[in-house]
Amino acid sequence: MTQYKYLLTEKDMPTHWYNIVADMETPPPPYRHPATLELLGPDDLAPVFPQALIEQEVSAERWIEIPEEVQDVLKMWRPAPLYRAHRWEKQLDTPARIYYKWEGVSPPGSHKPNTAIAQCYYARQEGLEGFATETGAGQWGSALSFATQFFGLKCKVFMVTISYHQKPYRRVMMETWGGSVVPSPSSETNAGRVILAQDPETTGSLGIAISEAIEYAVTHDGWKYSLGSVVNFVLLHQTVIGLEAKKQMEMAGDYPDIVIGCAGGGSNAAGLIYPFMQDKLTGTKPNLRAMFVESSACPSMTRGQYAYDWGDTAKTGPVTKMHTVGHGFIPAPVHAGGLRYHGMAPTICHLLSNEQAEARAYHQIEIFDAAHSFARAEGFIVAPETAHAIKAVYDEAMACKEAGEDKVILFNASGHGHFDLSAYDAYHGKDLLDYELEEDRLERALEDLPEIAE
Ligand X SMILES: Cc1ncc(COP(=O)(O)O)c(C=O)c1O
Tell me if 147 contacts ligand X by CB under 6 A: no
Q: How far apart are CA 213 and CA 209, in angstroms?
A: 6
Phi/psi region, residue 430 (left: phi>0; alpha: psi -120 to 50; beta: rest), is: left
Residue 148 CA: distances (Å) to CA of 49, 109, 327, 329: 15, 16, 29, 31
Tell me if 136 contacts ligand X by CB under 6 A: yes
> In the set 266, 317, 318, 333, which binds ligand X (CB under 6 A)?
266
Element (H, E) at 374: helix 364-378
Total site size for ligand X, rule CB under 6 A: 21
User: How far apart are CB 60 and ligand X at their closest, in Å?
Assistant: 23
User: How far apart are CB 198 and ligand X at their closest, in Å?
Assistant: 26
Tell me if 267 contacts ligand X by CB under 6 A: yes
Site for ligand X in 13-42 (CB under 6 A): none
User: How far apart are CB 238 and ligand X at their closest, in Å?
Assistant: 7
Tell me if 333 contacts ligand X by CB under 6 A: no
Binding mask 377-406 for ligand X (x = CB under 6 A): ------x-xx--------------------
> In the set 94, 110, 115, 186, which binds ligand X (CB under 6 A)?
110
Q: Yes or no: say if 266 and 348 are a contact pair by the CB < 8 Å rule.
A: yes
Q: How far apart are CA 205 and CA 208, in angstroms?
A: 5
Q: Yes or no: say if 368 and 272 are a contact pair by the CB < 8 Å rule.
A: no
Tell me if 338 contacts ligand X by CB under 6 A: yes
> Closer to ligand X at the Cβ: 234 or 330?
234
Q: Yes or no: say if 424 and 368 are a contact pair by the CB < 8 Å rule.
A: yes
The number of residues making up the chain comes to 454
Tell me if 113 contacts ligand X by CB under 6 A: no
Tell me if 326 contacts ligand X by CB under 6 A: no
User: How far apart are CB 152 and ligand X at their closest, in Å?
Assistant: 25
**Nearest residue by C-beta to ligand X?**
338
Tell me if 264 contacts ligand X by CB under 6 A: yes
Tell me if 114 contacts ligand X by CB under 6 A: no
> Closer to ligand X at the Cβ: 268 or 300?
268
User: How far apart are CB 184 and ligand X at their closest, in Å?
Assistant: 14
Q: Please give the angle made by the CA atoms of 63, 109 and 294, to the nearest 5 degrees.
A: 75
Q: Which range in 55-63, 186-194, 258-266, 303-311 contacts ligand X by CB under 6 A?
A: 258-266
For residue 310, the 8-state DSSP code is: E
User: How far apart are CB 229 and ligand X at their closest, in Å?
Assistant: 3
User: How far apart are CB 106 and ligand X at their closest, in Å?
Assistant: 10
The Cβ of residue 242 has, within 10 Å, a number of other Cβ atoms equal to 26
Residues with Cβ within 8 Å of 449's Cβ and at least 6 positions away in sequence, in order, are: 305, 307, 308, 309, 324, 326
Residue from 376, 282, 321, 413 nearest 18 by CA: 282
Binding mask 222-241 for ligand X (x = CB under 6 A): -------x------------
Q: Yes or no: say if 53 and 104 are a contact pair by the CB < 8 Å rule.
A: no
Q: Which range in 136-144, 215-223, 307-315, 445-453 contacts ligand X by CB under 6 A?
A: 136-144
| Rg for the chain, CA atoms, rounded | 20
Residues in a beta bridge with 324: 305
User: How far apart are CB 339 and ligand X at their closest, in Å?
Assistant: 6
Q: How far apart are CA 232 and CA 346, in angstroms?
A: 8
Residues in a beta bridge with 84: 99
Going across the sheet that includes 180-184, the strands are 180-184, 154-160, 130-135, 223-225
User: How far apart are CB 414 and ligand X at their closest, in Å?
Assistant: 3
List residues near ligand X by CB under 6 A: 110, 136-137, 139-140, 229, 262-269, 338-339, 383, 385-386, 414-415
